Structure 1
Amino acid sequence: MIPLQDLSFFILAALILVISPGPNMIYLISKSITQGKKSGFISLMGVVCGFMFHIIMVSFGLTAVLLAVPLAYTVLKTIGTVYLLYLAYQAIKPKSKNIFEIDQNGTHDGPKKLFTIGFLTNVLNPKVAVFYLSFFPQFIKPEYGSILTQSLELGVVQVLVSFTVNFLIVLTAARVALFFNNNPAWIKVQKWFMASVLTYLAVKMAFSKAK
């Protein structure tokens, strides 16, 4: 089992990263505003199932890699550092898109389509798998027990954090979009805060040592 102190830091990191604008957030906000909260919730169920798909695939793959190739930790750490710095840049790059500008002319989709698109939006997003592969190793240590168990533990925690945040987004999508459109300065604050946290995580990852 992962110690509570490490798990608490992971929860904080997962919370910061889940509020980073991406395909899932755009899709959930869009459907919640154009089709209502019920449609947003169905879409969220698809997104969550997509997370579970990635977690299962990455957990077994990560276990095999870390047990078979000691050098894999260094490789994954490097990938993770570069990836987090890339996310930090994406948050503050010039002319980055405001996700709260939603197209109100979306078509009305049925439950099956809402779920399927939510699922595929997540499964077909390579950044999700890269995130798990690059971020999980920083919290997984042999002395804490089974690598597979730790990976699944982190996955479940990340899904719970993501579900909670995205569920709140579904419930408040219309009000959140209106607030940010009326207060554009908060968009800039959010972007720079996000970039600062991601950069800190990247530096921490770069100087971490394999056990």
Structure 2
Amino acid sequence: MPAFDTLAAFLAVSVLITLAPGPDNLMVLGQSLARGRAAGFGIAVGCALGCFTHTLWAALGVSAALASSPTVFAALKLAGAGYLCWIGIQTLINARVAQVVRNGGSTPAPWASQVRRGFIANAINPKVALFFLAFLPQFVRAEDGGATAQMIALGAVFALQTIFVFGAIASAAGMLGRALARHGRASIWLERMAGVLFIGLAARLALDDHTL
């Protein structure tokens, strides 16, 4: 296990990274505004699970193999962009459902589906894989034991703080979305905004030629 001072430093940096605007917290924000706190929290949990998956990939050397293969990297990047675009299109098509759900007219999408969305969007993003490959080893210390065990422990800490930080974002955005939804067609426009956000994130991922 990493030493306490290492864990404290890692946690502080991780919280700052998680708070910085990026695809994951923007997904949480958009879904919370459009669909409520529970939907946003589902995305948050899915993203956290995705982060821990990237930790395992980094610890087992999978991410290093990804970094050495531009073809695989590009394929995963396009797959991630395609998935985000598909979510965005589906969100736009079903925009009117949002107002009905908030008014109690139908059952909202299962929470597990939101977790799955967040997990897949995060887990197949190769830029996140390369981030963990570069980030985690900086906090591994030879005197604290095996590198693999330390990386897994650090990844677990990162995933847990992700749930707390994104959960706070989901709660605040969910309350704001509920207040806005009381004004006529606001729910429809919030849902459309979330759809456009997903498509924008897809375009950003697909067109970004930079790697870590």
Q: TM-score, normalised by structure 2?
A: 0.58
Identity of aligned residues (%): 29
Residue 133 (structure 2) aligns with:
133
Residue 116 (structure 1) aligns with:
116
CA distance in 2, matches of 1:10, 1:136: 9
CA contact (8 A) 1:23 1:121 kept: no
1:156-195 aligned within 5 A:
156-174=156-174
1:1-20 aligned within 5 A:
1-20=1-20
- Whichever residue aligns with residue 24 of structure 1, its letter is D
CA distance in 1, matches of 2:93, 2:32: 11
CA distance in 2, matches of 1:62, 1:2: 22
CA change 1:124–1:64 in 2 (3 A) is closer
CA distance in 2, matches of 1:158, 1:45: 12
1:115 is displaced (CA, Å) by: 2.5
1:132 is displaced (CA, Å) by: 1.0
CA distance in 2, matches of 1:15, 1:145: 25
CA distance in 2, matches of 1:64, 1:145: 21
CA distance in 2, matches of 1:10, 1:121: 24
Residue 50 (structure 1) aligns with:
50
1:175 is displaced (CA, Å) by: 6.1
1:62 is displaced (CA, Å) by: 7.8
CA contact (8 A) 1:32 1:173 kept: yes
Report the count of equivalent residues: 141
In terms of mean alpha carbon deviation, does 30-39 or 113-122 score higher?
A: 113-122
CA distance in 2, matches of 1:43, 1:153: 22
CA distance in 1, matches of 2:170, 2:132: 24
CA change 1:106–1:150 in 2 (3 A) is farther
In terms of mean alpha carbon deviation, does 51-60 or 160-169 score higher?
A: 51-60
Deviations 1:30-61 (A, max 9, x none): 11111111211222222222122111111111
1:134-153 aligned within 5 A:
134-153=134-153
Deviations 1:168-190 (A, max 9, x none): 01101156799xxxxxxxxxxxx
CA distance in 2, matches of 1:118, 1:138: 26
